Structure 1
Amino acid sequence: MPGFALDPRQAAWCAELRTLAAQRLRPLAEQGEPGRVNRPLLARLGELGLIDRLFTSSPATAGGTPSALDLCLLRESLAHGCTEAETALALQGLGGYPVLRSGSAVQRDRWLARVRAGRAVAAFALTEPDAGSDAAALALRAAPDGDGWRLTGEKCWISNAPEADFYTVFARTGEAPGARGVTAFLVPADRPGLTGRPLDMLAPHAIGALAFDGVRVGPQDLLGEPGGGFKVAMDTLNLFRPSVGAFAVGMAQAALDAALAHTAGRVAFGGVLADLQSVAHRVAEMATRVEAARLLVYAAASAYDEGAPDVPRRAAMAKLLATETAQYVVDHAVQLHGARALQRGHLLEHLYREVRAPRVYEGASEVQRTIIARELYRKEAAR
């Protein structure tokens, strides 16, 4: 596994993405309505070919899958300049990747070209009111109905709901207890019996709840095999989990950059803030944590690309450290700025609202620690 530094091509691409995010995507993001899907922004991401990178196989990866490292570089760079663009892009990948990996030719032909172009909005519908971190506890029921099923129950805290054009939905078909009895379906948003409502959340993008009232799904809606839905979900999360860390690193770097600029120029106590040892040491700690998180994210992504056996542990470590680090760095950047950072519209005020959710979604920090410990003790038991 390589040690990082990025090669010149990767470094140039990241710089180009940061400029693009700040100059071309941020203005579109600012025109969006909080809590709604920003379709013009999504279409621009499609026009620029950025969504396509989520679905393009890389010859350097195991099994010809998309490159996890490219995904991390993409998400980190966009997050540095425009968190809304990063989130819009990532959600297309999260909702669409199960179709790429497990969908039929008909499903891929109908949806993926439009997802890549930013013309169809995808969503990943796993979480329920009583099944979040414990995904094996899903209760959405898929009752047999002829050659298909009827979905009855709820999903909650689903990004892009209720405005998505289709949902990757995980429901209990009951082939076995726990995770082995879950099946994945592709459910178009206009399917009779499917309704949704928006939720007023801290995060600025669309998040909603879905209600399934006997929604009919058939064999043509399956993603993978009956009873294989948990694997579909974990395949997706294992790819995207390190890149949640990359999103966090991008936010942390933006906060660190703001803190550096502010403390280098802010005059106080007869000099600039950076002259105070307590300030300089705090900034040094912030920078060290950001770099450590970045390296762990890149290492986890490289492990995924190489088909390493310890991806779950590495991915969990990357997400855990990066999201906790981002919270620390943004909070300390706010402290160094003082009251101005709490003013609505300030970069740090925006980041302060954005940075909290990644410690919860796609497996809360406590779940990541459980995964890490489980993998460590499994390896110890095998010795």
Structure 2
Amino acid sequence: MPAFSLDPEQLARCAQLRTLAREQLLPLAEQGEPGQVNRPLVAALGELGLLERLVAADALELCLLRESLAYACTEAETALALQGLGASPVVRAGTEAQRARWLPEVAAGRAVAAFALSERGAGSDAAALALKARPDGRGWRLSGEKCWISNAPEADFYSVFARTTEGAGARGVTAFLVPADRPGLTGSALDMLSPHPIGTLSFDEVPVSREDVLGAPDGGFRVAMDTLNRFRPSVGAFAVGMAQAALDAALAHTADRRAFGGALKDLQSVAHTTAEMATRTEAARLLVYAAASAYDEGAPGVPRRSAMAKLFATETAQYVVDAAVQLHGAAALRRGHLLEHLYREVRAPRIYEGATEVQRTVIARELYSAGPGARPEETAT
């Protein structure tokens, strides 16, 4: 399928998702508490079959899900995405027993998943993580902390990445599936700008066994990077959904608002701004679809494409939402306004799952590795 077009069936599904999000999920989102897991919303995502679609989705389908939900209800989009992020290591590297135990619960919206990679001293530099896994004869004991973990401390299980071999860098990390009720595992919530739940986790000699390993011992960094390469384009899709919502709000407002003897849209400066907003949004959408399609096809250059998609889409969304606020004026700053909500939501994606600066580093590394003149599809990575 060409990366630059969607077929009529896909377009129809996206329209249905936007309607469903607006009519059924947004009311549940509005009843939730900021900074806390909205379990009725997660349950509704399961009942509507969206989490089952998420578990089985390829990268492009994941992007379409996230963009469509983000357009109408960012809370529903984030709840769905966090389920996918936390469960993806189980889907891709888990044992049959692990998948059988947890994936049906995730798909039904009965279990909340979380991806526990970041630490205070190992955010952008994930290979520097320090959570220790000490062998104890029967398995390992986890000691240390995780920070900036979405859905913590309320998740039912965590995909946790810990150091099993000192001094080995990325090659000394193991992924573990850790249920929330393990002795020694505690956590606390963080009060953040964005409204979805984020917290810390503390591990005090938390026991894990070989049955809890996701993938192979010392192979956890590959599990983490595979998950992030799959999800980075979809972070871009989330951003595109927000950008499109902000753009549509700006178009409607500037067409109706009267000022200086006419509609705002008739002012050249306003018209040029909306044209720029629309162009950047569409360019971001195409980069996202192309990166997702490349991942699904197993094409070369996936890290570069994923980094480009996340970089450009999240930076674009920040620009578009900010421009929409400017065009609306003071009304957009009022608590509860769509653009006030999007303004708070749009900032975090430029940081999580690899900050903008990290994406530029990945892109530059891939460029210099490939050499001058190489295109992404010609680069084996």
Q: TM-score scaled to structure 1, two decimals?
A: 0.96
Q: Which residue of 2 aligns with 1:190?
A: 181
Q: Secondary structure in 1 aligned to 2:187?
A: strand
- Match of residue 300, structure 1, among 265, 269, 291: 291
How far 1:101 moved relative to its partner?
A: 1.1
CA distance in 1, matches of 2:58, 2:183: 37
Q: Which residue of 2 aligns with 1:44?
A: 44
State the identity as a percent.
78
Correspondence for 2:322: 331
Match in the other structure for 2:349:
358
1:345 to 325, 329, 336: 336
1:53 to partner: Cα distance: 1.4
After superposition, the Cα gap between the structure-2 partners of 1:175 and 1:224, relative to the gap in structure 1 and judged at 3 Å, is: farther
Contact 2:3 2:293 (C-alpha < 8 Å) held by counterparts: no
Residue 315 of structure 1 corresponds to 306
- Decide whether aligned partners of structure 1 residues 372 and 233 sit closer, same or farther in structure 2, where only a CA change above 3 A counts: same
**173-182 or 288-297: bigger deviation:** 173-182
Is the counterpart of residue 17 in structure 1 residue 17 in structure 2?
yes
Which residue in 2 is equivalent to 1:62? none
**C-alpha separation in 2, matches of 1:381 and 1:355:** 34
Encode CA deviations 1:16-71: one digit per residue, 9 max, x unaligned. Answer: 00111111100000000111000000000001111111221xxxxxxxxx311111
Shifted more, 66-75 versus 275-284: the winner is 66-75
- For 1:52 and 1:130, the matched residues in 2 are separated by 35
Q: 2-side partners of 1:203 and 1:106: how far apart?
A: 35
CA contact (8 A) 2:236 2:288 kept: yes
Residue of structure 2 in register with 1:378 after alignment = 369
CA contact (8 A) 1:159 1:207 kept: yes
Residues 228-276 of structure 1, C-alpha deviation per residue, up to 9 Å, x if partnerless? 0000101111111100000000000000000000000000000010010
1:266 maps to: 257
Q: Residue type of the partner of 1:169?
A: V
CA distance in 2: counterparts of 1:347 and 1:90, whole angstroms: 21
* CA distance, structure 1, for counterparts of residue 274 and residue 165 of structure 2: 53
Once the two structures are TM-superposed, the CA of residue 381 in structure 1 deviates from its matched residue by 8.1
Q: Does 1:172 align with 2:160?
A: no
Instruction: Give the distance between the partners of 1:93 and 1:185, measured in 2 at CA.
Output: 16
Report the equivalent of 1:88.
79
**Which residue in the other structure is 1:252 paired with?**
243
Contact 1:175 1:227 in 2 (8 A): no
Determine helix, strand or coil for the equivalent of 1:152: strand
Deviations 1:343-378 (A, max 9, x none): 000000000000000000000000000000111111
Q: Mapping of 1:25-64 within 5 angstroms?
A: 25-56=25-56
Deviation at 1:93, TM superposition (A): 0.4
Counterpart residue identity of residue 34, structure 2:
P
Equivalenced residues, count: 374
In 1, Cα distance between the equivalents of 2:339 and 2:23?
18
**How far apart are 1:176 and its partner, in Å?**
5.6
Q: How much does 1:147 deviate? A: 2.4
Is residue 2:6 matched to residue 1:6? Answer: yes
> Which residue identity does 2:33 align to in structure 1?
E
**Unmatched 5+ residue regions in structure 2?**
375-381
Structure 2: how far apart are the matches of 1:242 and 1:382?
A: 24
Deviation at 1:6, TM superposition (A): 1.1
In structure 1, list runs of 5 or more residues that go unmatched.
57-65
Q: Distance in 2 between matches of 1:281 and 1:52?
A: 42
Q: CA deviation at 1:165?
A: 0.2
How far apart in 2 are the matches of 1:382 and 1:13? 38
Q: Is the 8 A contact 1:333 1:348 kept in 2?
A: yes
**How far apart are 1:151 and its partner, in Å?**
0.4
**Aligned mates of 2:279, 2:179 — CA distance in 1:** 45
Quote the Cα distance in structure 1 between the aligned partners of 2:108 and 2:15: 23
Q: Distance in 2 between matches of 1:301 and 1:48?
A: 24
Q: Distance in 1 between matches of 2:179 and 2:213?
A: 12
- Tell me if the contact between 1:176 and 1:227 (Cα under 8 Å) persists in the aligned partners: no
RMSD: 1.2
Q: Any conservation in 1 of the 2:3–2:289 contact (CA below 8 Å)? A: no
Contact 1:124/1:159 (<8 A) preserved:
yes
Displacement after TM superposition at 1:4 (Å): 1.9
